Structure 1
Amino acid sequence: MRLRQFITGLAIALGFGLPAQGQECVGRNLFNDLSPARMAELRASTRNVPFHRGLFWQATKDQKKITLIGTYHFNDPRHDATMARFGPTIDAADVLLVEAGPTEEKRLAEAMAKDPSLIMDTKGATLPERMSAEDWKSLWTAMEARGMPAVVTSRMRPWYVSVMLGISPCMLKTVRRTGDTGGLDHQLIDRAEAADVPVRALEPWNTVFSLFEGMTPAEEIDMIRSAMPAAEYADDYAVTLTEAYFTGDSWLIWEFGRFDAYDKSGLSRAEVDKQMRLAQDKLMDQRNRNWIAPIETAAAQAADRGKGIVVGFGALHLPGKNGVLSLLQKSGWTIQQLEIEEGANGG
């Protein structure tokens, strides 16, 4: 989730031609299109995922205390309830840990603006040379809707393309118009800075460039192909994601993406499952494991000063056997779900 916020900001920083004006995002909840049997199948796929439901949690171990907030990276008025509930907790915290703070976001944007080769491959085969004519036509059409001309898309690195496909064109227009995603992450940071609470990043600013190393050329193209179905109705996908998040069911959207790719990507189920495993490992699991040490260290240092810490990151990093909550639990932490106003997190 947070990776998408990075990429959105970078597309803007690099000056791609996104319109300065645009209407508010409008779409439909795609869950409503599913048959009862399909919806039951989708929910069954999440049933055995640890901590699959809920956005706000507390982890305690001895005198150490961590408040964990699963975030959504775009603006929504429903974030107000979250900030009302956890703002005072941030004010009293020893530190706020986030995926990337203002310093990291600035360094990342500057690096990519200075060195376009980080996302552009000017020497290798172009994407139209690597894809079928039909797939390339679908791709450049989707990317043009996001302000990326076909000639530019043809030279983009596949990981950048696949992530951009997951962002709603309407959201890109809105961010361009406002200059900020306005998401919960930024609201947490603003609150911490106002209270003089230090903000620290969970990972280095350049982590994004190492996430997709080691992929074969075929895996890179399959990654794009598996992202294509959702790109065709990304505004609807964005609405679906948002509603799933605010009911505390954010893992549903991950499984929905899998089922949607089964039906529409042209890949076999085995190929889709392979892509999903690869994406989960690179975008979530590896990073989750790397975050545990800095979280535990910060919590121990805070406890020495009689304080707790707050950690905010994309909600998809919370669930699963390799999610942050399970990893903390395996490390001896007691995990408890925190409530907010009724209906705010689906409890």
Structure 2
Amino acid sequence: MTRLAGSPETARGRRGVALASWLFGCLLMAFAVTLDAAPYSGAKPAAQRAMPLVVPDPGNAPPGANLPFYEARKGDLTIYVLGTLHVGKPDDYPFRKVVVDALRVSRTVAFELSPDDLTMSQDDVQKYGMCSRACLPRMIPAPLWQKLHQRLKGNPAMLSEIRHMRPWLAALLVETLDSMSAELQTEYGTENQLENIYRGRIVGLESLAEQMDAFTGLSAAQQNELLAQELAQTPARSTSQLRELHRLWRAGDADMIYDFSQSKAEQVRQRPALADAIDERIVYARNRRFMARMLFLADPGKPVFVAIGALHLGGPRGVLQLLREHGFSVAQR
């Protein structure tokens, strides 16, 4: 079990760093990450970070999880796509040989955000997600605040923290708190483990400003809907669903993950029109941006390895379908 680094005596600058350590690991995952001090805390450059190392051992290492991994080809263009989960467990690794081989032959590796952007994220969390005063009770409807207060009444330190958050950030924090008992850790997130075995340059498919804007650009009503969705189920139910997501991710089928996410969304959405607008902004618009950047990176004879959240892959508007619509043949590996 982990706990938030912030506490009643935490300075505001420290609070921003703590939030940044997990925020960009969970953006656009419909489920949460833990609040452990993540390798993406900004404390050290990517090359100096210390994290649990799980590397392939051809001799006697047991196989890790299957993980959703796809190869897209169009003529001389090759794009490998790995669906990631930003939290995990040690036995999710090592990566399968086919993943490691693809990583080794790829000239470019791309995450949603580059590690360099992630190390600078705390200032943006502070600027766009936090208030100097207790703003949240005044920004959301009174019944929603009462529901949130009831959820956190047993955690006064966290209740004090969340008062200073804008609704979109409060929503991410609620799902994080609900998932802590799932025993998933940020250091075993896929991107962190990929960095253990890839020492080259990693680029981002979007800028920090673009990813932040997906949330900060939500209207007040949309932010309220996002928070209401996170409060629609009990913590136990949310934790159970996170465990199921982790199980499906280990099974390695992007379409099964998509179907599960759609079923979960139907259970929690409060106002369908607002929920659809949120999905368009923070999922589907970004899928299209990822696709455009992937095509920009692709060169004949120079494979590209892309690692993005597994919930971006499947479904009729997912990245795999977008690849097919651009003439790629897509095969699961």
Normalised to the residue count of structure 2, the TM-score between the two structures is: 0.72
Residue aligning to 2:101: 88
2:260 aligns with: 253
Residue of structure 1 in register with 2:197 after alignment: 191
Residue by residue, what CA displacement relative to the aligned partner does 1:198-236 show, whole Å, maximum 9, x if unpaired? 211111123332113453323322221122124522322
Secondary structure of 2:215's aligned partner = coil
Task: Report the alpha carbon displacement of residue 129 of structure 1 after superposing the two structures with TM.
Answer: 6.2
Where does 1:309-328 land on structure 2 (aligned, <5 Å)? Answer: 309-328=304-323
How big is the shift at 1:84? 3.5
**Cα distance between partner residues in 1 of 2:155 and 2:86:** 18
Q: 1:232 aligns with which of 230, 235, 238?
A: 235
Q: Aligned-pair distance for 1:285?
A: 0.8
Query: Amino acid of the residue matched to residue 159 of structure 2?
Result: A
Q: Name the CA shift for 1:125/1:72 in 2 (closer, same or farther; >3 Å).
A: closer
Matched, 1:277 2:298: no
Does the Cα contact within 8 Å between 2:258 and 2:311 map onto a contact in 1? yes
CA contact (8 A) 1:101 1:200 kept: yes
Aligned-partner SS, 2:103: helix
Asked if structure 2 preserves the Cα contact closer than 8 Å seen for 1:2 and 1:314, the reply is no
User: Which residue of structure 1 aligns with residue 160 of structure 2?
Assistant: 151
Residue 343 of structure 1 corresponds to: none
What secondary structure sits across from 2:106 in the alignment? coil
TM-score by length of 1: 0.69
- Corresponding residue of 1:216: 219
Q: Given the alignment of the two structures, is residue 131 of structure 1 paired with residue 141 of structure 2, yes or no?
A: yes
- CA contact 1:226–1:275 (8 Å) conserved in 2: no
**2:287 corresponding residue in structure 1:** 288
- State the one-letter code of the partner of 2:308: F
Percent identity (aligned): 18
Task: Give the superposed CA RMSD.
Answer: 3.3
CA contact (8 A) 2:83 2:313 kept: yes
On the 8 A contact 2:69/2:82 being kept in 1, the answer is: yes
Q: How does 1:6-45 map to 2 (within 5 A)?
A: 12=37
- Aligned to 1:320, what secondary structure does the other structure show? coil
2:127 corresponds to which of 110, 113, 117: 117
Q: What's the secondary structure of 1:322's corresponding residue?
A: coil
Structure 1 partner of 2:52: none
- Call closer, same or farther: CA 1:313–1:227 in 2, change over 3 Å: same
**Paired positions, count:** 278
Aligned-partner residue type, residue 295 of structure 2: E
Q: CA deviation at 1:94?
A: 0.5
- Distance in 2 (CA, whole Å) between partners of 1:59 and 1:184 is 20
Q: Which has the higher contact order (CA 8 A, sep 6+)?
A: 1
For structure 2, the residue ranges without an aligned partner over 5 or more in a row are: 1-21, 43-66
Tell me, yes or no, if structure 1 residue 205 matches structure 2 residue 223: no
Superposition deviation, residue 310 in structure 1: 0.9
Q: Distance in 1 between matches of 2:114 and 2:174?
A: 25
- Following superposition, the deviation at residue 255 of structure 1 comes to 1.9
Q: 1:56 to 1:8 in 2, by over 3 A?
A: closer
- SS of 2:107's equivalent in the other structure is coil
Tell me, yes or no, if structure 1 residue 99 matches structure 2 residue 112: yes
What is the alpha-carbon distance in structure 2 between the residues aligned to residue 183 and residue 214 of structure 1?
Answer: 27
Q: Could you tell me how far apart the structure 2 residues matched to 1:206 and 1:147 are?
A: 32
Distance 1:212 1:307 in 2: 34
